[in-house]
Structure 1
């Protein structure tokens, strides 16, 4: 498809820092001769060009708002204009929303000689953010809204006061389950759009089973995790099948911790397992590259490929 080729060219231009790319509106000729309508394939009969490939993308950014994420948020905001430039040039009708990795959760910790003590933490639990200072009329940003990149820069500045137990997979499910049921995020995802998820974190996923009792010194994020297959199964059902959604994870690739100008990142084993479970519609990039331009390029290329493969 012409759109796919155009997106790929713009993604490469974004990644290498090249200038604007133009395309010949007269056709897809490699030699520049003719209009493209008189070539040897002009008389062939095939499926209409819009039979395959979506024209809409709904993208949710799940951003870690724990204490170590300030530099990464700043770099994401700085590179977002290039990401949007690719989408704008593609002609896709997109919308973008932001939530965090923090969730409301509680569990009981049993201490010797003391008994069970409730542990509680609060978070957005998948609610798409609409800060008062960002002048948003809804919980997402649509193509054509005033100052798309400026609004994203405002809403993506989620701060560093969130929970230290990051739960991006749980936050994604919350966004499209609980926050749909209570009408917080209602209207975001369109049934004829590709659903895209971008997760940005420097920690392993800590999404856990909701009924938890721990005996000290057990650690929540090492002992009570919910299988990543549950989150894949949920998204398959919500989006209408495994081909109708895609996920890009920007995290610690392992083995072990990694370091960059952003600081250090733990190995995100559960996000890697999630990526492997999803297959070709998922990609994992390193948060330790020191610049998120490449990671955003990886996400855009993945979303392009998934979108082009959807049969409408």
Structure 2
């Protein structure tokens, strides 16, 4: 006996099969009763990073811009005495760092036709120091920095930290300092604000149209670091005067309004020269470590599903950004904080449920 075979084409009107197929799809994706915001089950994704991989770099290029005017002697010494608070974590975690120092009157080389002023400096502004760039393999990193940071007090009172930074980083004398895919950290130490402009004369006037806008320098930093709106490879921090009480305690000091604007634009750290230098330096190094070790995800995650593993151990989430990991939706990246900042060679695994279907 032959089996009964039903011919659907004879029973179901033409075109109705397509309608049934469409209805099946609608039922498949239809949310349950009472669900206002439907969610769909998607396959979990995982991003694995190696801290020493070429695309995940922990290279740090650190440029200190030190005010060398007459009122800065004590502040320079204070910085030297507390430098260990800044560098210790980078050494312990085996970061590939470079450290150089310039004074805030470096820019004068442009107007005096003395391009060698752009060179990285040593003790008392020496333009040919033994170690113009401090590297992790040197025997005594702290002692070398303590020498180099003492820039003296006979520099110009026309402080132009940003113009000096740009002039130095553009100079052929310092080629090789900025490395591909490294993170550039600029740290300004000054008791007077920046008044960078194109002229050679003093221009301590915030309303002067010739004063360079902060965007002039963030655009420059974007270019030399290969940064984009999505990935920033630099920050600017400042140890300066940021309130009237500190200003009153410094006879020749002024509030650093432009420093504050630059720091906030680049996610750096504001540190007062009237506060404890060790605490400020620790905060600066921690922020640099956070920014330089953020990991960009390949897909947008559901934040509630993120699991972070470093070298096989779970890392706790910390939305207060103190000790653990946090997710930044604007950059779609994972940040590490405090004792959980990964060391050189660490393997980082980030598992999550994506919010969109992978194409």
SS of the residue aligned with 1:48? strand
1:265 aligns with 2:258: no
Please provide the CA RMSD for this pair.
Answer: 3.1
| One of 145, 149, 154 as aligned partner of 1:152 | 145
2:30 alignment counterpart? none
Structure 1 residues 121 and 237: alpha-carbon distance in aligned structure 2, compared to 1, 3 A threshold: closer
> How far apart are the structure 1 equivalents of 2:156 and 2:101?
17
Q: TM-score by structure 1 length?
A: 0.69
1:162 alignment counterpart? 155
SS of the residue aligned with 1:72? helix
> How far apart are the structure 1 equivalents of 2:291 and 2:147?
28
1:84: Cα distance to partner? 1.7
Q: TM-score by structure 2 length?
A: 0.61
1:49: Cα distance to partner? 3.7
| One of 288, 294, 304 as aligned partner of 2:279 | 294
Correspondence 1:92-241 to 2 at 5 A = 92-105=95-108, 126-130=118-122, 136-177=129-170, 179=171, 183-210=172-199, 220-222=203-205, 223=208, 224-241=210-227
1:309 aligns with 2:309: no
Structure 1 residues 154 and 88: alpha-carbon distance in aligned structure 2, compared to 1, 3 A threshold: same
Structure 1 residues 133 and 174: alpha-carbon distance in aligned structure 2, compared to 1, 3 A threshold: closer
In structure 1, the gaps of 5 or more residues are: 1-43, 108-118
SS of the residue aligned with 1:141? coil
1:310: Cα distance to partner? 5.4
- Assess if the C-alpha contact under 8 Å between 1:54 and 1:310 holds in 2: no
Correspondence 1:48-59 to 2 at 5 A = 48-50=49-51, 53-59=56-62
SS of the residue aligned with 1:237? helix
For these two proteins, the number of residue pairs brought into alignment is 244
2:68 alignment counterpart? 65
1:128: Cα distance to partner? 0.8
Indicate the larger mover: 229-238 or 184-193. 184-193
> How far apart are the structure 2 equivalents of 1:205 and 1:121?
22
